[in-house]
A and B are shown apart, each in its own frame.
Chain A
């Protein structure tokens, strides 16, 4: 359930939030409450990073899945970006993330998932290191109209050995099969590729579930 009034307590983590630090959350009702305060019992914080090219839908995905009002750092795009932030294919885009998006999902009484969305443009890539630090894994969101924009994210995750899944954000593109997308991305067969609609909570959630399953399979199948 989306909330517009909730406040996000303590663990504001721009600087290297680790998955190990327990959020010192405000006491509150159980998850699922309209305001979704962090339960006092929360002790395990997990972090997922959402990356991908400019305009792939990262901010939208974080907004869709977050139970709290997400921290968003979208700024209106200015004319200074003409020729740099190219919106071919995403002409309706008028705002862009300049720091990161931050959302939260309470999984159960003890586990909380933090979702960080990265900015897509090259000038903000220096921020990615911090966003990746302590992350369980990453989601690479791709838009088939601008597939090449996701190469950097995939290369970087492969190089640093961060587990990830690729999610094809379906902007009504029905002509490309997932196999075609996989081939175009030259994606390792071991990396899961799913289709999603980042605007739809249930769909965005499936992407996170795919990632968690993938991470679990990497750490030895049955591990909890």
Chain B
């Protein structure tokens, strides 16, 4: 199972990208997408298209608390054969819907409650470190996050939960 995690700015620009594989069950934490040649842009396409759902959900699902949406993009075929690229995207943010985080993954069973719970844990940890990073006086809203500390924290969270 591989994950592609993105934090988007309010204008949909990605401010943080990371791809990693699972560390559970003997995984080595390296992302292996089903179609490596198309994975780069397909992941972004999937994330971008999942904004549709996100957009709808943020208005229909009550207030914008720290809530999690785990949405599964149906299987689709970037090139040929049968694949199951699944996109999961999550909405984070407690005060305003200014922060969004998305992750997409190729998974054997991404619908299981265990996976969902793991993603939820991962997200809340990411959210914490994101808030810390965003509060840095040198960080302006919408800037790309380049902090290596943040990246290592995300990697660690990924290793821990996913």
| Chains A and B form a bound pair | no
Residues of A whose CB lies within 8 Å of any CB of B are none
